[in-house]
Every structure is written in C-alpha cells, then in structure tokens.
Amino acid sequence: MIKILFVCHGNICRSTMAEFIMKDIVRKQHLEDYFHIESSATHTDEIWNGQGSPVYPPARAKLREYGIGTPDNELGVSAKRARLTSRADYDKFDFIIGMDSANIRDLKRLFSGDPENKVYKMLEFTDRSGDVADPWYTGNFDDTWRDCSDGCHGLFREILMTPEYAKILGDSAYADDSEGSTYDEERDLGLIHDDFPRG
C-alpha cells in the first residue's frame, strides 16, 4: 500500500483538490487497492468544535468540471471534512506533500524535521518551482487546478519510477489462476509507458 497525504493551511481548497485528483488518477489506472490517499490542514481555521468544514464550494465545482465528485465518480468528495495534521501522520504516510513553503515549515516543525525524507512541496514533482496558487486569496481556481493536477501526475510518475513502489504496482498486473500467477494483458497498467490519463 502506497500512502499519500496532501497538506495545506485549511484543508478545504488546495490539498482537497490534490487528494481527489490523485484518487481519480489511481481509479483510472484500476489501482485503488494499492493506494491510501488523504489530505489535512496545518491549522484549525476550518475545524470547529472538532468538526471540519467540507470542501470549499468553488473547489468542489472545479473538481466537478473535470468529472470528479460527480455521481458516477464521487470518490468521497461529499463526505470530506477538514482535519488537522498530527505527529502520528509522519509514521502513517510514505509521501507528505505540502502545497507551499509555509506548509513545509509547519510540517517540519510538527514532525521535528523530516528524518525519513517524506516531506515534499507539490511543485517539486513538476517542471516548475514555487507554491501552489492559493485560491482562497486569488479566487483563481484554474491556476490551482493546473498546479494540483500537474503535481499529482508528476508524483504518480515518480512513484512509477521508484523500484520499491513500481514493484507493488507491477504485481497488480498479474492475475491468479489455478496454475499460479499469469500475466493479464487486460490489466496491463501502463507501468512502462507513461500514458496514464491526465486530469
């Protein structure tokens, strides 16, 4: 199981968009059973009396625009509530992806550093540097979609290129039969060719 946590300030816009974009990517590759994907906040701004806020409506609308959070591809969008990142998350997840430099500072403070090199900034997985655009301030959900989509697809490529994870995913292309494991062409997951669907 490959475990990914996306993190932003409030967990209602950027990190939730990244969570569901990534879930959509792995669903399209029929790899849901091999991934556990969540998102969380570095601050409690959107958590009241222990209850987190739902996905911010414009973020949810942008996801729906790309077929995510719809009745036939709901992926848990309607049930998602903001939650606070905990120290225990460091041991639970393989990748902890902050959306901007402030998130990274908060995460490393919470985790007392990053001894196992699990903490990354989202755009590290793209061909550009910087922070994921924060639509809470800009109102521009198109830029946030682009940053999150590019980052998630880049992360997925990184996972495919990492031998320990590629082996986990590659094994899923084999089907058990009465004579043992045989390769199933119908389940060829494209681990050699970088042709997975883009958001």
d(CA 156, CA 13) in angstroms, rounded, equals 21
Of 24, 100, 106, 134, which residue is the catalytic one? 134
Instruction: Give catalytic status of residue 8 as yes or no.
Output: yes
Of 13, 14, 148, 152, which residue is the catalytic one? 14
Query: 91 with 111: CB under 8 angstroms?
Result: no
Instruction: Give catalytic status of residue 89 as yes or no.
Output: no
Chain mean position to CA 56 = 17
The contacts of residue 40 (CB under 8 Å, 6+ apart) are: 5, 6, 7, 11, 15, 82, 83, 84, 85, 89
Instruction: Give catalytic status of residue 198 as yes or no.
Output: no
Identify the three-state secondary structure at position 96.
strand
d(CA 15, CA 135) in angstroms, rounded, equals 12
**Catalytic residue positions?**
8, 14, 134
